[in-house]
Structure 1
């Protein structure tokens, strides 16, 4: 049984954000909560895609393993995020491996239940189609950002997403270690260090996991106005 706060957390996800509250409660009544310890694997690339998930607490990373054995971080999701929905509804196998970055509590939703409900409820189908489109749009924008922005701009965008304010000074805490942040932003750890150094002139200082930003508005301007030069992507 989900608590009211857990239902609201599910409502925050892209997958269920457009689903009316009453319909969402009915849809999720038979879902399960699953604890995944830090470092544990939820599923591996190639497993049957039988479920979709919402992060109720904690943090997970989605990775692909290249033919050369290198781990590529596709995404990192924290509370309120959903994943696995598109492939679970389509059927087939998961294209990524999911590991817990922190001790995490996940809402596990059986894809068959959602699919059966979609077939019988056109309104729900439209709501979730809209949500899935929004999720795809976010991923496309993220890929575009990785290709178009310099390393410092990517890092600035990441810090802006963590900021508790829209303008002015703020303090924030990096949600996971810098090695994972570097992989998440498509760069090497040494490139991340250089990017933090480059952001000093934009009023950013970092000490371990604590970050001070003198003006979030200045960071936004840096991302929008500073055109990346060739060779600056990493």
Structure 2
């Protein structure tokens, strides 16, 4: 990698909630056994069952985590965006990947080799702790969302996803979905046609979906109130 690329990667790693806990010298050393990789849409970062020899820091694009056994991107469990790690939970126990990871759109990511990473971190337990905490937080989030899948209609599931995607933004909000609606439907536990119906049912709540990946929300607070309401006026 050239000097400019090294500098850009060092800044990205410094901004990572987990890897940013490393010192400047440690981050510079990490770059010696890491490399940036590009993945075309649909390409795997790793497959389910493969030995976990590396984990990845997503730089751009979105990655889908899937339980598919056949090396294809289907049964999407989670969608991971820039700044987040993927595959670190398998690396932590030196095991095999429990999920596959696929580029839902073109992805750039830093591949960090597991063996030198652990050798490097023998005396830096706080970073390993942070990785474990991040993996646990993701698991808690997935458990919460699985509970929602069982208890909420498709309309409320979609509303909740849009609320989480918008973060703390207020008022009128424009959102670009992180992946094709086919994969978003899988992520939310529904069929593509159910997702289309859910978008249609959210129009009275000020949600407007284009043909591609653009979503406009007239009033973010109104959508939050709908999502948090105990009454769901629509059945699937």
Regarding TM over 0.5, the answer is yes
Pick one of 51, 55, 62 that aligns with 1:48: 51
Structure 2 unaligned residues grouped into runs of 5+: none
Aligned residues of 1:9 and 1:79 also touching (Cα < 8 A): no
**What residue in structure 2 maps to residue 218 of structure 1?**
222
Q: Tell me how far 1:8 sits from its aligned partner.
A: 4.1
Secondary structure at 1:10 match in 2:
helix
Q: Tell me how far 1:196 sits from its aligned partner.
A: 0.6
Q: Tell me how far 1:95 sits from its aligned partner.
A: 1.7
Aligned residues of 1:52 and 1:109 also touching (Cα < 8 A): yes
Q: 1:171-227 CA deviation, whole Å, 9 max, x = no partner?
A: 222232211110111111111011111111111111213222110111111111144
**What residue in structure 1 maps to residue 210 of structure 2?**
207
Structure 2: distance between partners of 1:64 and 1:111 = 22
Q: What's the TM-score, normalizing by structure 2?
A: 0.83
Distance change (3 Å), C-alpha of 1:117 and 1:133? farther
The alignment covers a number of residue pairs equal to 230
**What residue in structure 2 maps to residue 142 of structure 1?**
145
Q: What's the TM-score, normalizing by structure 1?
A: 0.84
**What residue in structure 2 maps to residue 197 of structure 1?**
200
Aligned residues of 2:160 and 2:227 also touching (Cα < 8 A): yes
Q: 1:63-94 CA deviation, whole Å, 9 max, x = no partner?
A: 11269x99311112221121111111212211
Q: Does 1:101 align with 2:114?
A: no
Q: Tell me how far 1:126 sits from its aligned partner.
A: 3.4
**What residue in structure 2 maps to residue 28 of structure 1?**
30
CA RMSD for the aligned pairs? Answer: 2.8
Structure 2: distance between partners of 1:218 and 1:50 = 46
Aligned residues of 2:159 and 2:223 also touching (Cα < 8 A): yes
